Chain A
Amino acid sequence: MSCDRVQDLLAGYAENDLSAEDRTLVESHCRECPDCAALLAALREADTALAGFPEVEPGRALLERLYAVSTESRPRRRVFSFFLRPSLQPVFAAAAVLMTILSLYFFNPDRKAFDRAVVRQFHRGVSRIEKLYAGAGAVTDSLGAYAGSVFTSLKAINPLGKNKE
């Protein structure tokens, strides 16, 4: 077996992650090949050394910087995010139209004349409704009178052609 092939297997061998067949191949090769045996020893040494690197404590100054970052860099709470929802757009459009109409009224230089015209129109409308109502009453009265005369005429008719006496 070539050294290249064995060296590909060495990492798995050191981790006990090879099949029994591959393990035997590596072991028999390393018994005869000092280079691969030395590499395996170095690999184990490297694994032990890497696992032994201690954790380093971050300095006080760094922690203070990080605490400062945590208060400064946090995304600001969007207070107005509720009002920016697309579902509220028609409400805002209606409010804008209303505001425009109100501003046209309140900032109109002829507001008093406008008020008078509105009142006049209002009264005119009211009097028209009263006339209609009165007209409707007259029609009802005439219909009532007509109904009464029809009733009287019906009573006066003698279907048998006999005298009352």
Chain B
Amino acid sequence: MLVDLFSKRIFNLAHQFAGNSQEAEDLTQDIFIKLYRSLPKYDFGRNFAAWFLTLAKNHLIDEYRRTKWEKRNRDDFDDRLRVAAAETGDPEANLAADEAKRTLWESLNLLPAETRMAVILKEIQGRKYEEVAEIMSLPVGTVKSRINRGRLQLARFILSAKERSHEL
């Protein structure tokens, strides 16, 4: 069933993009409603997962532009997001990684919508450039430069956060 296969992927994409659990749940539901309405238009020659993720991406970016989420706060960087860092051995490295994650989580909304989506698909979800390009309906080169720009911007946010913490 489509819900069993895709609910986790879509919910995570919405959560990472919007940064808010409640918003992500509503968006996931909207995306599934849209999916069922769009199914008759599905071209069987296309990869279904990529087609569905494109539909989800379009909905998320359209909603973002419509409602301007960037003005809202993202969820706190809570235990649900911290869990992976806590599993590694070195506590000091864990703390630094945790701080970097917190900074990135809070900074994601500062990236332009298309860049944020590309960074999420490639860097957080670990997809290949070609897959991201298919989902984003863009050439691979454009996607690559967009992701690189986003990564660099996020690195600058980490540097700024470190500078602020040193000043305190």
Give the residue of B80, B101, B151 whose beta carbon is less than 8 angstroms from that of A11: B151
Interface residues of B in 103-129 (CB under 8 A from A): 104-105, 119, 123-124, 126
Q: Is the interface of B mostly helix, strand, loop or mixed?
A: helix
B24-58 vs A, Cβ < 8 Å mask (1 yes, 0 no) = 01001100110011011000000000000000000
Contacts of A38 in B (CB 8 A): 159
Report the bound CA distance from A164 to B111 in whole Å. Answer: 136
**Chain B nearest Cβ from A60, distance in angstroms:** 11
Q: A11-B152, A38-B159, A53-B101 are in contact. Are A67 and B15 (CB under 8 A)?
A: no
Contacts of A147 in B (CB 8 A): none
Contact B158–A46 (Cβ < 8 Å): yes
Contacts of B37 in A (CB 8 A): 73, 75
Residue of A nearest to B161 (CB): A42
Contacts of B3 in A (CB 8 A): 63, 66-67, 70
Contact A62–B25 (Cβ < 8 Å): yes
Q: A69-B29, A70-B1 are in contact. Are A12 and B16 (CB under 8 A)?
A: no
**Chain A nearest Cβ from B90, distance in angstroms:** 13
Contact B28–A45 (Cβ < 8 Å): no
Contact A70–B100 (Cβ < 8 Å): no
**Chain A nearest Cβ from B3, distance in angstroms:** 5
Contacts of A63 in B (CB 8 A): 3, 7
Contacts of B143 in A (CB 8 A): none
How many residue pairs link A and B with beta carbons under 8 A? The number is 116
Contacts of B123 in A (CB 8 A): 47, 50-51
Contacts of A43 in B (CB 8 A): 151-152, 155
Interface residues of A in 5-33 (CB under 8 A from B): 7, 10-12, 14
Residue of B nearest to A73 (CB): B36
Contacts of A55 in B (CB 8 A): 8, 12
Give the residue of A57, A66, A67, A70 whose beta carbon is less than 8 angstroms from that of B28: A66
Contacts of B126 in A (CB 8 A): 51
Contacts of B100 in A (CB 8 A): 45-46, 48-49
Q: A11-B148, A50-B119, A70-B32 are in contact. Are A58 and B155 (CB under 8 A)?
A: no
Residue of A nearest to B80 (CB): A56
B interface residues, Cβ below 8 angstroms from A:
1-3, 7-8, 11-12, 15-16, 21, 25, 28-29, 32-33, 36-37, 39-40, 80-81, 83-85, 96-97, 100-101, 104-105, 119, 123-124, 126, 147-149, 151-152, 154-156, 158-159, 162
Q: Could you show 27 A-B contacts with beta carbons less than 8 Å apart?
A: A7-B152, A11-B152, A12-B148, A38-B159, A42-B155, A42-B159, A43-B151, A43-B155, A45-B155, A46-B104, A47-B151, A49-B97, A49-B104, A50-B154, A51-B126, A52-B84, A52-B97, A53-B16, A53-B81, A53-B124, A56-B15, A58-B7, A59-B25, A62-B25, A62-B29, A67-B3, A69-B36
